[in-house]
Each structure stands twice: as C-alpha cells, then as structure tokens.
C-alpha cells in the first residue's frame, strides 16, 4: 500500500451523467466539485464518469466503472457480499469527528487546515494512469457528485478501499473549516451532526454486527442520544445569539442598507472591501465568507449607508445549510437594495445567477430592489462586455479591482437611495433635544429653524425612517 502520506491527500471525482444533463452541464458540475474538493485541501488526480439512466442503487456506478475506479484507489472493485469490510483509517477519523462534535464545546475553534490558496506550485502532482503498476501514492479519497445514501457510501468504500465523501459532505466540511464566528460555528455544527448522524449509525451498526457483539444497539442509542442532546443545546444557544442579532438588526432597521449577494467566489467580499475600506477576507476559494459583515460605505455619506457581505450560494446547497444560514440571509432580506454579484468571467454565470435568484426567492427576498453586477470584467474582452450589456441593459459591468468602477458603483448606490428618500419637516420639542443624534443617524438634515414649539428640522430620509422619527419625536 502507500508509504508516507503525501502533503495533500489525493482524490478521485466520480460523476454519473443522467440523461437530462447536457455534456456541458455535467462537465461544469464536475469542475465545480473539483474546486470544492481542492478548497477542502485535496489534490484531484482523476475523474471517473459514466452515463447512466440513473444512479446505481447499490454502488452508484456500474460494475465495469466501479472496477476502473478501484484500480485507481487500489481496491477490489467489488462489494464483498455478506462480510462487512472494516473501515479505512481516514473514515474512522472522520466519524470520530462526529463524536467529538457531539462532545466539543461550541467555543473550541477548529484549527484551520492547510488550504487551497495560491498554490499553483503543488499542481505538479502527476495524473495517475489507470494502469496496473502504481509508482506514486494512490488516491485515498473518492468524492461523488451526488448525494449518497449511507449504504451506497459504505458499499463504495468497501469496493474502493478509500474514504468516500459525497457532494454534501464536502460542502459541510468546508463550512465546518471556514466558520469563524460563534454563530456560524454553531450553525455548521448543527448541519454537520444532521449530516453525519445517519451515516455514523449505519457504520457503527455494521461494525458491531461484524464483531458479533450484542451491545451494539445500546451503544448506538447512546451516541444517538448524545447527538440529540448536543443538537438541542446548539439550537438553544443559537436562539439566544439570534435574538441578540435580531435586536441589533432592529436597531438598524431604518438605516440605509445594501447587501452583496451571489454565488460563492463571485467577488462579494472584494467589492465589500472596495466599497467600505474594510479588511474582510478575500480568497480564491469557495465559501471563504460564512459570516455576515456590516460596514459603512466609504467615504461616509449622510445618512450613513451600511453594506453587508453575505455567505455565497452554490447549486445543490444542502438543505440543512440553507436552513442554518437563514439568519445570515435575513440581512439580505432587510436591505433596501440587493447587489447581485455575478462572476461574468465564469462561463456558467447564468446558472449561478439562477441559483442566487432561487435561494433569494426561497427566503422571500424577491421583492427587494436589486442591481445586477457583472464582476471580474477585467477578464472580459470589450466585445464580451458589450454583449453582456446588450443582454442586460439594466446591469453594471465592473471590476472590484478597478477604483473607477467601484466609485461609479458607489455613485449608483447613492443615486438609488436619493431616489428612495423623501423630504419632511420634523419638529423636535425642546424637552427631547437630547435624542437629536438619532435624527442624524437616519436622515440628512437640510436646514433647521427654531420657534416656541422646539427645533424644526427639514430632513431627507427613507419613508420608513421619517415615519418612525415623526412617531418618536411626536408630542
């Protein structure tokens, strides 16, 4: 078997092309899976695909393809009937993590793994031929581009001798590694336990059956109960944090808010940095951002405009993750303007935009005014830019790296709010002068005059802010 483990574990991708999926879509799907796997820290060395009418119930792939896959990983290529195979070391470690997750306190920050950043240097790993003789290390991980049932997963592991992950597992793991704030970590842990629990149950059961132990059910029961308890604890903790957040959002409710939304890696954080001068993380990896950051647009405006950077979307985003990141997305729901960021240099952008739109529809944000931004335009030819504008005359074509483009976008945001704001007179009784800063926070003061009733301010603000201020200062 393999000698010293390589720096980056090697992985093989597996995809089944179903009849309703075009060649281009299939290739794009696998390319995206490859990027996910790379972000997770693996080196993709081969891809095995097969056209089939459906995913094979037992092993995903048909017999021949399964053998081909097993030749790469050094497995037998068949699922031994009856006898249960023992688990790979990698898999045991992975499952143990679920246990740890059940035990770990939510505060414990996971150590960030060595990740895919600017690592063209290790792209030199040679692609292994599916030949008989293996000189280099073999792939130890097989990543399947479909959601697997627990039994498909264990069958594939037995046939390949490698650890098997499915697309959801990969995404859940990336989220797990990238989550930084306490809230994001708790959300991810919930999704992860939900994902791991049924898979762990099956394999724990198999091991016990294999060893012929009678105590299996009670041990399993114990694990299950522990996970259930941990989930309850997490949900309660999360509810408290979310209440705090809701209060904070409530305090910001009349402020001028813009949210950057879009597919992962589209350039949301880059635009956030450029628009607000903040130091949010920008990285060429999927799901670099999991926490919402809110910062004021710079140079500051009166009233201030707040910009939020949000978690990115991806196709086939596991449902649990959508649910757990809902509160993050509520930021988007409360914005007055959504900036849909699209990586125009990615040929699959139309599909990515559709995913963004559908997730936002799902959370009920379809009614929020929006601006479509074709980002990374520096990678496009002028013809391509023109074509985009022809197709979407309402959109802006820009690059987060161009200060001029960012300044123009800022101007566009200001104009949007200028159009949305209205003017009104606000009378502030002398007894309430102490709270005048609230007015400045939510409105632009155009002029002021004094009489026996108090101070009268001519203000410009969003209609909701005017309504609330009038109510707050009303006599």
Ligand X SMILES: Nc1nc2c(ncn2[C@@H]2O[C@H](COP(=O)(O)OP(=O)(O)OP(=O)(O)O)[C@@H](O)[C@H]2O)c(=O)[nH]1
State in angstroms the smallest separation of the CB of 129 from ligand X. Answer: 33
State in angstroms the smallest separation of the CB of 387 from ligand X. Answer: 18
d(CA 145, CA 167): 5
Q: Which one, 255 or 269, has the nearer CB to Mg ion? A: 269
The CB density around residue 411, as the number of other CB atoms within 10 Å, is 10
Q: Which one, 146 or 401, has the nearer CB to ligand X? A: 401
Q: Give the one residue of 264, 276, 293, 336 binding ligand X; rule: CB under 6 A.
A: 264
> Within 358-417, which residues bind ligand X (CB under 6 A)?
375-376, 378-379, 399-401
d(CA 151, CA 81): 13
Q: Which one, 38 or 268, has the nearer CB to Mg ion? A: 268
Contact 385, 397 (CB under 8 A): yes
Q: Give the one residue of 47, 203, 255, 270 binding ligand X; rule: CB under 6 A.
A: 270
CA atoms within 13 A on the CB side of 274: 21
Q: Which one, 56 or 283, has the nearer CB to ligand X? A: 283
The CB density around residue 86, as the number of other CB atoms within 10 Å, is 14
Contacts of 125 (CB under 8 A, 6+ apart): 6, 8, 10, 43, 45
Q: Which one, 398 or 459, has the nearer CB to ligand X? A: 398
Among 125-133, 157-165, 260-268, 369-377, the segment contacting Mg ion (CB under 5 A):
260-268
State in angstroms the smallest separation of the CB of 272 from ligand X. Answer: 7
DSSP string, 287-321: T---S-EEEE-SS--SS-EEEEE---B-TT--HHH
Pairing of strands 422-429, 454-461: antiparallel
Residue whose pair of structure tokens reads 């790379």 in the numeric block:
38
Q: Give the one residue of 160, 168, 194, 269 binding Mg ion; rule: CB under 5 A.
A: 269
Is 267 annotated to bind ligand? yes
State in angstroms the smallest separation of the CB of 452 from ligand X. Answer: 54
State in angstroms the smallest separation of the CB of 247 from Mg ion. Answer: 25
Among 24-32, 185-193, 279-287, 294-302, the segment contacting ligand X (CB under 6 A):
279-287
Alpha helices, H only, 48-181: 63-73, 89-103, 150-160, 167-178
Contacts of 102 (CB under 8 A, 6+ apart): 193, 223, 226, 227, 229, 230
> Within 270-299, which residues bind Mg ion (CB under 5 A)?
288-289
d(CA 298, CA 276): 5
State in angstroms the smallest separation of the CB of 362 from ligand X. Answer: 18
| DSSP code, position 263 | B
- What are the binding residues for GTP? 262-269, 287-291, 309-312, 375-378, 399-401
Q: Which residues contribute to the site for ligand X (CB under 6 A)? A: 264-270, 282-284, 286-289, 312, 375-376, 378-379, 399-401
- Binding-site residue ranges: 262-269, 287-291, 309-312, 375-378, 399-401
Binding-site residue ranges for Mg(2+): 269, 289
Chain residues binding Mg ion by CB under 5 A are 268-269, 288-289
């Amino acid at each position: 078997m393999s000698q010293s483990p390589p720096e980056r574990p090697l992985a093989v991708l597996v995809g089944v092309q179903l009849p309703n999926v075009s060649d281009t879509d299939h290739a794009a799907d696998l390319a995206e899976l490859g990027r996910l796997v790379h972000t997770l820290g693996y080196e993709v060395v081969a891809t095995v695909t097969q056209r089939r009418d459906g995913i094979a119930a037992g092993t995903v792939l048909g017999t021949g393809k399964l053998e081909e896959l097993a030749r790469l990983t050094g497995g037998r290529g068949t699922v031994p009937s009856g006898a249960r195979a023992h688990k790979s070391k990698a898999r045991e470690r992975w499952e143990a993590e679920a246990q740890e997750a059940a035990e770990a306190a939510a505060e414990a920050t996971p150590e960030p793994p060595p990740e895919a950043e600017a690592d063209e240097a290790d792209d030199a790993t040679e692609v292994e031929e599916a030949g008989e003789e293996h000189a280099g290390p073999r792939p130890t991980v097989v990543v399947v581009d479909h959601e697997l049932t627990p039994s498909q997963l264990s069958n594939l592991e037995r046939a390949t001798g490698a650890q098997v992950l499915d697309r959801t597992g990969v995404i859940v793991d990336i989220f797990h590694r990238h989550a930084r704030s306490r809230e994001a970590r708790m959300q991810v842990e919930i999704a992860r336990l939900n994902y791991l629990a049924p898979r762990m149950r099956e394999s724990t059961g198999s091991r016990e059956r294999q060893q012929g132990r009678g105590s299996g059910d009670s041990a399993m029961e114990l694990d299950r109960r522990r996970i259930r308890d941990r989930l309850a604890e997490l949900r309660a903790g999360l509810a408290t944090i979310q209440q705090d957040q809701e209060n904070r959002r409530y305090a910001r409710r009349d402020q001028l808010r813009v949210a950057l939304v879009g597919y992962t890696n589209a350039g949301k954080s880059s635009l956030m940095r450029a628009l607000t001068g903040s130091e949010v993380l920008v990285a060429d990896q999927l799901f670099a951002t999991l926490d919402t950051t809110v910062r004021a647009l710079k140079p500051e405006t009166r009233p201030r405009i707040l910009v939020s950077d949000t978690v990115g979307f991806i196709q086939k985003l596991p449902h649990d993750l959508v649910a757990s990141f809902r509160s993050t997305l509520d930021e988007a729901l409360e914005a007055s303007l959504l900036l849909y960021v699209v990586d125009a240099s990615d040929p699959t952008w139309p599909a990515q935009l559709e995913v963004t739109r559908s997730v936002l529809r799902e959370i009920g944000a379809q009614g929020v005014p929006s601006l479509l931004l074709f980002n990374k335009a520096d990678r496009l030819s002028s013809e391509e830019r023109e074509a985009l504008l022809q197709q979407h005359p309402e959109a802006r074509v820009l690059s987060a790296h161009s200060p001029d483009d960012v300044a123009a976008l800022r101007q566009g945001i200001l104009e949007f709010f200028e159009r949305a704001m209205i003017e009104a007179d606000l009378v502030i009784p002398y007894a309430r002068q102490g709270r005048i800063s609230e007015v400045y926070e939510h409105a632009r003061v155009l002029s002021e005059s004094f009489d026996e009733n108090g101070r009268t301010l001519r203000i410009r603000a969003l209609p909701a802010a005017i309504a609330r201020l009038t109510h707050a200062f009303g006599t």
